[in-house]
């Protein structure tokens, strides 16, 4: 309540509204890994997120504009338009493992 301004009951209401999981990926909380209360710093509570979505996804996107651009990029990649066709990346060739040097 002191930090986020919501009660445990309000947390439960948000959790139920999100079908019991993370608002982004749907991952369910566990005893060891509860959902984080995502909030606009100095602003309102947005929802409940698992650790990864909170720190790696939302935490990296500091603006709504950047989040929209990311979504647009993923939904409509520019390379397909530029080339006129999708190209599947073959991946990096495997490196040959070098034998370990023997300890002296």
Mean local confidence (pLDDT), 31-35: 93
Give the pLDDT score at 41.
Answer: 75
* pLDDT tens-place string over residues 38-87: 987 777 898 999 998 888 888 787 778 888 888 888 888 788 888 888 77
CATH number at residue 25: 3.40.1800
* pLDDT tens-place string over residues 3-23: 888 889 999 999 999 999 999
* 46 is a domain residue: yes
Burial (CB count within 10 angstroms: exposed 0-12, middle 13-18, buried 19+), residue 67 = middle
Instruction: Look at the chain and report how many structural domains it folds into.
Output: 1
Give the pLDDT score at 73.
Answer: 83
d(CA 77, CA 68): 13
Residue 79, CA atoms < 13 Å, CB-side half-sphere: 5
Give the pLDDT score at 104.
Answer: 67
d(CA 46, CA 24): 12
Domain that holds residue 42: 8-83
* 95 is a domain residue: no
Nearest to 49 by CA among 66, 64, 34, 71: 34
């Amino acid at each position: 309540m002191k930090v986020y301004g919501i009660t445990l009951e309000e947390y439960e209401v948000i959790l139920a509204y999100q079908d019991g999981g993370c608002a982004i990926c749907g991952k369910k909380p566990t005893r060891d890994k509860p959902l984080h209360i995502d909030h606009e710093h100095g602003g309102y509570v947005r929802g409940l997120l698992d650790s990864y979505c909170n720190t790696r996804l939302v935490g990296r996107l500091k603006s709504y504009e950047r989040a929209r651009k990311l979504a647009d990029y993923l939904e409509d990649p520019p390379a397909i338009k530029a080339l006129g066709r999708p190209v599947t990346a073959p991946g990096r060739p495997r490196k040959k493992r070098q034998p370990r040097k023997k300890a002296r």
